[in-house]
Structure 1
Amino acid sequence: MTGTDTTQIFKDAEADRGYRIKWWASRSAIYGALILWAVICLFPIYWTATTSFKMAPDVMKGNMVPYVDFAPKWKGWESIGLSPKTIGQESTVRAEFLKRFWNSAIVSLTSSALAVALGSLAAYGLSRFSYRFGFMKNSDISFFFLSQLILPPVVLALPFLVLYRELALHDTRIGLILLYTLSVLPIVIWIMKDQFATIPTELEEAALVDGLSIWGAFLTIILPIALPGMVAAFILSLVLTWNEYFFAALLTSTHANTLPVMVASQTGSQGISWWSMAALSFAAILPLIVIGVALERYIIKGMAAGAVK
């Protein structure tokens, strides 16, 4: 082996070592940034969960680490009847919590399902057919739906309050379902229109040649392909309707109150019951966490397909 060959081998080894160092440095930077972002996103959930086990002095001092900064207690969960000590006993507060929980579940699931069903039909029509309503074409109709999100909810407060009293929909689940369906419908149409636009029209043309009708092609060919986008739209609608507070507080009083209203009511003459509010909040967000984890693969497919921008 000549000296030139040895020098070249050393140069190649140095270059390879420099490449590996850069690769590991870039990977470390990327994963470090991702871990930091995950900590930032998950910290509010951690704070809420730990606050439900704190006493008043621990809350005021801002103690954060259980068994290090403070001794965990079941005070927050006792206040809503969900602690190990009170779970087997009768509890008026727990019964009220369960009533609000089922109100939220029924209203959110039903309104989200209706919004996805109606929004998917509207989005499919806007992505496949040409319409003209007066001076409005497809793009104008799509923008009209999307522009409804700009309208502040407080503008609709008085009209809806008067209308619901006249129609006997005040303090009813059906009233909230109708309103929530209308409120998230523009988002569903926006998401599903992009989803359907990524599906080639040749699939429907082939289905029509094979003898299927428009509805048959839509139900058997298009919907299975668009399922990830529908799931993503459903979860987004579910989160928005589950957490909605303004109209739930305005249009309900006794029978149809939802969890956000109950969480906001944890105040009294002694101030805010942070432990009770934290326990209620964590119990309220836990179902959304479970649904998000269970349907994660559909959300990723929907985002990869361009359903969520």
Structure 2
Amino acid sequence: MTIGALIPNRKPQAASRAKRIVGRTLIYAALIFWAFVCLSPIYWTVTTSFKSAVDVTQGHLIPWLDFQPDWKGWRSLGLSPDTIFGTSNPREEFLSRFGNSIFTSVGASLLALVLGSLAAYGLSRFRYKFAWMRNDDILFFFMSQLILPPVVLALPFLVLYKALALLDTRFGLILLYTLTVLPIVIWIMRDQFNAIPVELDEAAFVDGLSVWGAFLRIILPLAVPGMVAAFILSLVLCWNEYFFAALLTSTDAKTLPVMVASQTGSQGINWWSMAALSTAAIAPLVIAGIFLERYIVSGLTTGAGK
């Protein structure tokens, strides 16, 4: 045996290590680029809320370098430091629309979560037969409701809500938003329940629990990550909904997206006011997403390894 045979060949190891480094570098570069693409609109919105008209039209982007930040956008809403403690009609309107958005979005998301969890548990644990439809067909029926564009439902809902006196009411928006996000909640929660072993239900039945007892005391606590993910996703969809909020409301039940879209004047769009409104509108969702991130990721990836 020669001395060269005792020395390991380092060329393949070096080549493999170089490939890993290059691959990891490309992955991180792609992630950084995608983060830049996703965060650029948010950055533009936040900085625009501190711009004057000249800075907006000239496309200045970097504060203190391209332009001097100003409270113009927030002052127009009565939310700047020099106007926050005074009387402001725009601020009163903003708080009213903000309250409507919170009430309708949270209410619809909670109602959809309750109904969707019950439906998803039934589709996960029991076998149904409705005409030719089985469990998968029923789930597809729920998901197919997302195919319809909102404009197709505009006239029927307008006529129905007028007959039921639900126009310009927060309760009417809650019912409509619940129908909108219910299929998504059922889809997420069904995967969540499918990932929980059926043996836990059987063990609960042996211990004397009923179906409701097993569901509420055993299965539901284990499905908390999926419930949080479904709730946050429903909340985002309801919070950002504009079409039906603009169609079915006029004064009392208007939400923030409708108010954001109304920031136009005789000179055109008030970009600074619209940006300040948008920043205030997305802030609660960003904060909720940061604090509940681990639940959202865990809930949305449940069953992905199957």
Task: Indicate whether the TM-score tops 0.5.
Answer: yes
Query: How far has the Cα of 1:25 moved from its partner?
Result: 2.1
How does 1:1-309 map onto structure 2 within 5 Å?
3-4=3-4, 8=7, 11-12=9-10, 14-306=11-303
Query: How far has the Cα of 1:88 moved from its partner?
Result: 1.3
Counterpart Cα distance in 1 of 2:163 and 2:19: 69
Counterpart Cα distance in 2 of 1:27 and 1:160: 52
The one-character-per-residue Cα deviations of 1:216-238 (angstroms, maximum 9, x if unpaired) are 11111111111111111111100
Counterpart Cα distance in 1 of 2:197 and 2:13: 45
Counterpart Cα distance in 2 of 1:17 and 1:200: 45
Counterpart Cα distance in 1 of 2:211 and 2:17: 56
Decide whether the 8 Å contact of 2:116 with 2:182 is kept in 1.
yes
Q: Which amino acid aligns with 1:4?
A: G
> Unpaired runs of 5+ in structure 2?
none
The one-character-per-residue Cα deviations of 1:144-189 (angstroms, maximum 9, x if unpaired) are 1111111111111111112111211111110100110111111111
**273-282 or 135-144, which moves further after superposition?**
135-144
**233-242 or 155-164, which moves further after superposition?**
155-164
Query: How far has the Cα of 1:5 moved from its partner?
Result: 5.8
Q: Which amino acid aligns with 2:235?
A: L
Q: Which amino acid aligns with 2:4?
A: T
TM-score calculated relative to the size of structure 2: 0.95
Query: How far has the Cα of 1:15 moved from its partner?
Result: 4.3
Query: How far has the Cα of 1:21 moved from its partner?
Result: 2.9
Q: Which amino acid aligns with 2:150?
A: P
SS at match of 2:63: coil
Coordinate RMSD, CA, aligned: 1.6
Counterpart Cα distance in 2 of 1:136 and 1:19: 53
Counterpart Cα distance in 1 of 2:303 and 2:173: 30
Counterpart Cα distance in 2 of 1:25 and 1:162: 60
Query: How far has the Cα of 1:131 moved from its partner?
Result: 1.4
Query: How far has the Cα of 1:18 moved from its partner?
Result: 3.6
Q: Which amino acid aligns with 1:48?
A: T
Q: Which amino acid aligns with 2:28?
A: Y
Identity %: 68
**230-239 or 159-168, which moves further after superposition?**
159-168
TM-score calculated relative to the size of structure 1: 0.94
- How many residue pairs end up in the alignment? 304
Q: Which amino acid aligns with 1:23?
A: R
Counterpart Cα distance in 2 of 1:288 and 1:306: 26
Query: How far has the Cα of 1:16 moved from its partner?
Result: 4.1
Q: Which runs of 4+ in 1 moved over 4 A?
A: none
The one-character-per-residue Cα deviations of 1:217-276 (angstroms, maximum 9, x if unpaired) are 111111111111111111110000000001101111111100000000001211000000
